[in-house]
Amino acid sequence: MSVDVLSRETAPPPSASTLRLQFRRFRKNHLAMASVWLLALIVLGCFFGPYAFPFTGEDADFDFISAPAHFQWPHLFGTDEFGRDLLVRVLEGGQVSLTIGFLGALVAGVIGVLYGAVAGFVGGRADGLMMRAVEILYGFPYVILVILLSLLFGGGNLALFAAIVFTLWLTPAVIVRAQAQSLARREFIEAARAGGMTGRQIVLEHIVPNCMSVVIVYGSLLVPEVILSESFLSFLGIGIKEPQASWGNLISSGTSAMDSDLRLLLLPGVLLALVLLCLNFIADGLRDAFDPNDR
């Protein structure tokens, strides 16, 4: 055994981190990248578009009641039966729907990831209890929960938001818990313990970052899920209330007028469908880029 251990090894030319490689792969996916740009356009349009108009979505213009889409300034897509500009209302409704979507997904995601990471890492009886609790909550009827929460919070957007988060953090928790469980058995976790790290440090510094690729993919699917449930609840009339607009209640009122004027349904419906499509394509691209089985 005459191997010279002191012959110092030099590193190979630098390569990118896993995360950077994954994003590089994502950028090669044209459909996903187009979706990113289109989604960005819609988001910017919703948040800044209404400022281009001399009125808000709640201002009634009595000279134009139920005006058709004639693509002329200022009522490009016409007005509704109260004389409110349809395009501005849809854009403002988009603000509400998109905000609830992204914020809801973020909050539900953070809660779910932390809960799942702790359960999977701690294991044993605590894990059993935590996951049984999740299963019980899974069994809870969603719509009844929303009604209960609206009573509790006195209605309004907060109740809606709380109800959406309350039901949607469960799935990320289950997904992350499975991932955390397999990570907890890896040797680098043991090395971290030998290095004197506390359980909380291990969860935050090792478990959560290593669940990130799953979380990013799932998170991008969570956003459309939140938007859909907001729309669904608003459609049922227990979500966002008139006169405030959201894509859900716009579609709802559009549906009741669809026999005479399809445009009231089409504009919010098409925008919602576009956003959902974009988010699903993005999620798909992220999954292709991040899935470890694909490497």
Partner 1 sequence: MTLLESRNLGVGYRIPGTGLFSAARMLPIVHDLSLTLDPGRTLGVVGESGCGKSTLGRALLRLIVPSDGQVLWQGEDMATIPDLRRRRAEMQIIFQDPVAALDPRMTLAKIVSRPLATFEPNLSRKDARARAVQALEQVGLSADFADRFPHELSGGQAQRVGIARAIVGRPKLIICDEPVSALDVSIQAQVINLLMELQEKMGLALVFISHNLAVVRHISHDVMVMCLGRVVEQAPRSEFYARPLHPYSQALMDAVPEPDPRREKGRVGTALAGELPSVLNPPPGCVFASRCPKATDLCRQTRPELRTVAPGRQAACHFIEA
10 lines the binding site for partner 1 (CB under 8 A) = yes
Interface residue with partner 1, options 134, 165, 173, 192 (CB under 8 A): 192
Residue owning tokens 């607009």: 245
> Which residues between 224 and 283 bind partner 1 (CB under 8 A)?
none
CB of 189 to partner 1, least distance (A): 9
Q: According to the binding rule CB under 8 A, does residue 293 interact with partner 1?
A: no
Under 8 Å between Cβ of 247 and 268: yes
Among 68, 188, 237, 291, contact with partner 1 (rule: CB under 8 A): 188
The closest of 124, 284, 144, 155 to 220, measured between CA atoms, is 284
Minimum distance from residue 202 beta carbon to partner 1 (Å):
10
Contact predicate 21/288, CB 8 Å: no
Region near partner 1 per CB under 8 A, out of 75-83, 159-167, 203-211, 251-259: 203-211
Environment class of residue 133 by beta-carbon count within 10 Å: exposed (0-12), middle (13-18) or buried (19+)?
middle
By CB under 8 A, is residue 6 in contact with partner 1? yes
Q: Which long-range contacts (CB under 8 A, 24 or more apart) does 59-66 make?
A: 59/84, 59/85, 60/84, 61/85, 66/261
103-132 positions binding partner 1, by CB under 8 A: none
Query: Least distance in Å: CB of 29 to partner 1?
Result: 22
CB 79 within 8 A of CB 90: no
Q: Which of 271, 47, 216, 240 is CA-nearest to residue 161? A: 240
What is the phi/psi pair of residue 77, to 5°? -105, 20
Among 77, 197, 284, 291, binds partner 1 (CB under 8 A): 197
Report yes or no: 74 and 84 within 8 Å, Cβ to Cβ.
Answer: no
- Which CB, 192 or 226, lies closer to partner 1? 192
List the one residue from 151, 193, 256, 262 that touches partner 1 (CB under 8 A). Answer: 193
Question: Does the protein bind partner 1 through residue 135 (CB under 8 A)?
Answer: no
154 lies in the site for partner 1, by CB under 8 A: no
3-class secondary structure, 85: strand
Buried b (16+ CB within 10 A) or exposed e, 47-59: eebbeebeeebee
Binding-site string for partner 1 from residue 157 to residue 186, where x marks contact by CB under 8 A and - marks none: -----------------------------x
- The reply on whether position 9 binds partner 1 by CB under 8 A is yes
* Binder of partner 1 out of 5, 71, 154, 294 (CB under 8 A): 5
Residues contributing to the site for partner 1 (CB under 8 A): 1, 3, 5-12, 14-15, 17-19, 186-188, 190-198, 205-206, 209-210, 212
